[in-house]
Structure 1
Amino acid sequence: MLGDARRRHVLQDRVPAGLVSAGAALILALAGCGSEGDDSGALAVAEARVSAKEKDLAEAKSDLADKSAQFCQASQTYIRALDRYGDVLSETTTTVGDVEDAGSELEQPREDTMDGAEEAVAAQQVVVDAKAELAEAEAALAAAKQPGSAVPSTPAGTSSPRALAPAATVSRVQRAETEFNAVTEGFTDETPLSQASQQFNAAAVALEISWLRLFADAGCLTDEQRVQAEAAMRDYTMTLQQSLLDAGYYDDEVDGVYGPATVDAVEALQRAHGLPVTGTVDNASAAALERDLAAKGGATEQEAAASTAAVQQTLKLAGFWDGPVDGEWTEALTGALKDFQTELGVEPTGAVDAATIAAVERAIAETEQEASAPPTNASPTASPAPRQSPTSPPTPSRSSP
């Protein structure tokens, strides 16, 4: 007995502990299969396998979370770089060489982002595989619990990973990347700086917007951040649509949706000013829109001033206005116009409306008739202007503010 104990002690000293444990596990498994009527060993093995696959899945999910966070960080860095270099040509010292350098300095952030995307997709595949293996282990466990029953097949839908982002979003990024590369590679020392500025900025902004969409679709935003981003985008788009509407490029509903109608309007603006037609608002497009609004606003103000001056002159001739004829509408002018409207027999709105214009025209016509009529001995008596509104009043050219 003592000799046997010593031999066992020597064997344990010579055999690695891991091998002893593995051998013990194997013996346990074999012991479980040794008896035809005893399935406790097989059940234990099946349960152990499920436990191991659950652990593998948890580790795979943890790795996916890490890889996704790394991708989000890399893409955020890339987007910021695009935003910074998209404005490079607004600097006073910019040259075509600066444009080329700006494009090259984006290479590393872009490469880091692409690598991060590949690693995240690979991690997603590992999660999918781990889920499939867990499903198989659970099916085997179910069969071990009910010997003789058929082992269910692996649940459908676990053979392919969830896409990092919708295919349309990824396609848009790829297209924007291709267009950006084509623009930057097309610059030469002979490229006019103004042309380089427009093309580079337009391509950079289009690329930045496409990556912002991918950033959101890839789950890089929290729920709160997503709500805030969507609200900010909606407000921005509504402001843009209203500006495009005021400038005469947009004729659809101002709804905050950057859809085909908005893209068409931006493209129309860009074509009108000879800019790269991208459908996205870059620096050059924004400046062109501001110029259009300023010009339209100036013309509108001039038209309003001329109309106001005409009202002032008319009221002065009629004896209802003794102020300056300066094209500035004031409360005093509104009061004078109301008094004039009361005299004409129309509703005193304080605005140059159709009824007022019609009443003035009738008064002028009556005055002309009286002036052309032969003189009589009786003293003329002024008659008030008719109070009823004409059936078809002319459309006024301008109303008061």
Structure 2
Amino acid sequence: MFEVHQQDGKARLGSLQLAHGVVQTPIFMPVGTVGSVKTMVPEDLNKLNAEIILGNTYHLYLRPGMEVIREFGGLHRFIRWDKPILTDSGGFQIFSLNNQRRIDETGAHFQSHIDGRKISLTPELAVEIQETLGADIHMVLDECTPFPATYEQARESMQRSMRWAKRSRDARNRPELWQFGIVQGSMYEDLRRESIEKLTDIGFEGYSIGGLSVGEPKPDMRRIAQFCCEYLPENKPRYMMGVGTPLDIIESIAVGVDMFDCVMPTRNGRNGTLFTSNGRVNIKNSKFRLSQDPLDPNCSCYTCQTFSLSYLRHLFMAQEYTALRLLSLHNLTYYLKLIHDIRGAIREGRFQELLAHHRGLWET
């Protein structure tokens, strides 16, 4: 069950009651592509108060494979995570294969990037995999429309995704696990509305806004997110896939989005880019060589409470694995605290104040 408890403008406070527990919204989901959030262990995530993590159908199907997952009775027991998990269908990863894949009405056909074997992923198989994983929320298989796309390309792609969505719903066998439809239609509002109408006619536990963060200009991303939220059901959760920066998240919450995932905090951490209360920090900057200051004086994470900028820079420049862990830990702490602060701002009726502050911080 999904409930909206409070609103400040279009920003919403809510809760999801899932098979493995309750998740508060808005929510940011750390990405654990192959069953692990990179450099983190479940103990870390629990200490950060992560409520739900994301896994990837495509990668988990290839490795370790469903035989292993069945042996353990599902992904939760295999990775020792007892809170909710969301899995995406693999559509974006297939989209990313470019010339290595072929899409037709039956599904997506591609070669494994691991061993080159040929694989056909149908909507029905995507459901079977995700139900085997035991994901509390799983996505239907969709075709991620590239940007830019002509109107005809976007329409054909969207309509195929809608046919796949119906097949995915018909293939569902575990009603205790939620299934989300994915809105497509590229940058064309009439196609997005047609997609929403077809998905809501099918009926899902929630709806994802797909096909964004694929290279389109930020104004287009914001426009489409706002448009979709105007037509998506108010009593169902809205999930914006693969987004994004702190400002992307806040701007999307402002128009009514509830759920987010992105590799940015961990990937940027591993690349030496940090999100702080004072803006972005590049740990490679030579000005930090002798600095005894913490990375973020307003952060309570182990990294900021224990180590200097100088030491963190040293670890990163020396290519020490410890740096990847410490910097990822900080970025995840920042993102999850940001979500906590946003919830507080909505609860107290000061969301617009918080939005204005972060626009000033991240747009400069």
Q: For this structure pair, what is the TM-score category when the shorter chain's length is used for normalisation?
A: under 0.3
Normalising by structure 2, what TM-score?
A: 0.23
Normalising by structure 1, what TM-score?
A: 0.21
The structure with more radius of gyration: 1
The structure that is helix-richer by fraction is 1
The structure that is strand-richer by fraction is 2
Higher relative CO (CA 8 A, sep ≥ 6), structure 1 or 2?
2
